[in-house]
């Protein structure tokens, strides 16, 4: 945690700030170790404050060290309390805040309480989390392996005749059985034509023989997420989807091959996967980015898409997940969570990718 605070303070120097109000829950956890919600940090050059209400005071004492607890009277008053506490860094202190997680009302209260300059730091604090340390990587390896195991157990029970929602609940039960905190996000189980919706909500639809089924799921282990998608055949799929599967698999392998320290998320990884799909004539049917960073949040830096790309660095963890979606017919997506290394990418999810009959 000390190293993390030190890096946050280097960021203050870079941005010309005296302190920063950290309200994004994943950043609060990363910088302080505190795992609850409704909590705000105020980090200055010397001091570090943690503001929360009485529900969390014992937990703060248990989970954080080196932070001074500032007691807020209620959850509604945390932003005010943090603003007031920030005056410890000087009435005219230049303060950063996280515009993406602070509500407009909270911002107005911060503005009212603090006379000094305020600056939206965007995702700069969150980006401190992008490169993982050895302990984080160990946890993410476990999250990936656990997700593989849960997916294998659920698919082994067969998919035909089950409702999509039942398959999603079965995944959650497996995560619980295997000792995960829970799921990293609500699983997507999309069968048949439903698979053409990239973020379909699993429903009452009963999976029928001959359909493709897209399953996108991930476990959360010690706070860290994994993220995998596999597309299964429930019996023999039609000729077009069979071909689409091969194209998506080739695109995913091309994207994975482009992952390495120094590669660019958009120009290298996204471009490599997208080129395979475009060459097969399905360019218009791949409407989302190729990947995203994963960590305490399932979507975080770095970006690997058409509109957002970052240079990858060893220790980052990201996904590679191209897909093709054809309305009325169905969809195919294949996704792995990958650790960026000097020489390439190391998959943290290892479930097989040859088209499996999970009828």
SS3 15: helix
Residue 336 binds Zn ion (CB under 5 A): no
CB closer to Zn ion out of 82 and 187:
187
Distance CA 286, CA 188 (A): 17
Inter-axis angle of helices 25-32 and 2-15, nearest 10: 120
Backbone angles phi, psi at 298, to 5 degrees: -75, -25
Place of tokens 């920030």: 86
Q: Are 298 and 24 in contact (CB under 8 A)?
A: no
Residues for the chain: how many in total?
359
CB closer to Zn ion out of 19 and 293:
293
Instruction: Give min distance, CB of 330 to Zn ion, in A.
Output: 17
E strand or H helix at 94: none
Inter-axis angle of helices 271-279 and 239-258, nearest 10: 150
What strand order describes the sheet that includes 211-217? 188-191, 211-217, 228-234
Residues 161-220 that bind Zn ion (CB under 5 A): 216
CB closer to Zn ion out of 147 and 319:
319
Instruction: Give min distance, CB of 149 to Zn ion, in A.
Output: 17
Distance CA 291, CA 333 (A): 12
Distance CA 118, CA 74 (A): 24
CB closer to Zn ion out of 7 and 288:
288
Residues 244-303 that bind Zn ion (CB under 5 A): none
Among 170, 183, 227, 270, binds Zn ion (CB under 5 A): 227
Instruction: Give min distance, CB of 183 to Zn ion, in A.
Output: 11
Give the count of residues interacting with Zn ion (CB under 5 A).
5
CB closer to Zn ion out of 260 and 288:
288
Instruction: Name the residue among 219, 229, 218 with its Cα closest to residue 333.
Output: 229
For the record, the structure tokens of 120 come out as 């939206």
Instruction: Give min distance, CB of 292 to Zn ion, in A.
Output: 6
Instruction: Give min distance, CB of 217 to Zn ion, in A.
Output: 7
Among 191, 252, 319, 349, binds Zn ion (CB under 5 A): 319
Instruction: Give min distance, CB of 157 to Zn ion, in A.
Output: 21
Q: Is 275 exposed, middle or buried (0-12, 13-18, 19+ CB in 10 A)?
A: middle
Binding part of the chain for Zn ion, among 151-159, 171-179, 227-235, 238-246 by CB under 5 A, reads 227-235
Q: Are 233 and 212 in contact (CB under 8 A)?
A: yes
Instruction: Give min distance, CB of 106 to Zn ion, in A.
Output: 29
Instruction: Give min distance, CB of 301 to Zn ion, in A.
Output: 14
CB closer to Zn ion out of 44 and 144:
144
Binding part of the chain for Zn ion, among 65-73, 124-132, 249-257, 315-323 by CB under 5 A, reads 315-323
Regarding beta strands 345-347 and 211-217, do their DSSP bridges make them parallel or antiparallel, or are they unpaired?
unpaired
Binding part of the chain for Zn ion, among 115-123, 222-230, 265-273, 349-357 by CB under 5 A, reads 222-230
Instruction: Give min distance, CB of 229 to Zn ion, in A.
Output: 5
Distance CA 228, CA 230 (A): 7
Distance CA 174, CA 153 (A): 8
CB closer to Zn ion out of 84 and 302:
302
Binding part of the chain for Zn ion, among 100-108, 202-210, 229-237, 301-309 by CB under 5 A, reads 229-237
CB closer to Zn ion out of 211 and 227:
227
CB closer to Zn ion out of 81 and 337:
337
Instruction: Give min distance, CB of 220 to Zn ion, in A.
Output: 13
What DSSP string describes 190-210?
Answer: EEGGGGGSTTPPP-SPBP-TT
Binding site for Zn ion (CB under 5 A): 216, 227, 229, 319, 335
């Amino acid at each position: 945690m000390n190293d993390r605070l030190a890096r946050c303070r280097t960021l203050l120097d870079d941005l010309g700030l005296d302190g920063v109000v950290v309200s994004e829950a994943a950043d609060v956890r990363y910088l302080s170790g505190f795992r609850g919600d409704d909590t705000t940090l105020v980090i200055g050059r010397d001091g570090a404050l943690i503001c929360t209400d009485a529900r969390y005071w014992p937990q703060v004492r248990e989970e954080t060290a080196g932070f001074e607890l500032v007691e807020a009277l209620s959850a509604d008053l945390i932003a005010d309390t943090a603003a007031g506490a920030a005056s410890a860094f000087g009435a005219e202190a230049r303060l950063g805040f996280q515009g993406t997680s602070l509500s407009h009302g909270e911002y107005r209260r911060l503005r009212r309480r603090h006379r000094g300059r305020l600056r939206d730091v965007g995702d700069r604090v969150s980006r401190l989390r992008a490169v993982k340390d050895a302990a984080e990587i160990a946890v993410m390896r476990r999250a990936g392996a656990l997700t593989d195991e849960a997916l294998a157990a659920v698919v082994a029970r067969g998919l035909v005749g089950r409702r999509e929602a039942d398959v999603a609940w079965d995944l959650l039960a497996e995560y619980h059985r295997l000792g995960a905190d829970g799921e990293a996000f609500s699983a997507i189980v999309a069968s048949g034509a439903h698979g053409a919706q990239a973020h379909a909500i699993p429903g009452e639809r009963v999976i029928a023989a001959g359909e493709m089924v897209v399953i996108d799921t991930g476990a959360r282990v010690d706070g860290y997420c994994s993220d995998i998608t596999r597309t299964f055949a429930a019996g023999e799929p039609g000729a077009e989807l069979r071909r689409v599967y091969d194209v998506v698999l080739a695109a995913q392998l091309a994207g994975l091959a482009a992952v390495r320290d120094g590669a660019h998320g958009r120009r290298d990884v996204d471009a490599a996967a997208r080129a395979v799909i475009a060459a097969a004539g399905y360019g218009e049917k791949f409407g989302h980015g190729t990947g995203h960073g994963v960590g305490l949040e399932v979507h975080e830096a770095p970006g690997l898409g058409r509109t957002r790309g970052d240079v990858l660095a060893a220790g980052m963890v990201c996904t590679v997940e191209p897909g093709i979606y054809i309305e009325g017919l169905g969809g195919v997506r294949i996704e792995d969570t990958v650790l960026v290394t000097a020489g390439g990418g190391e998959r943290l999810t290892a479930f097989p990718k040859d088209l499996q009959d999970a009828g």
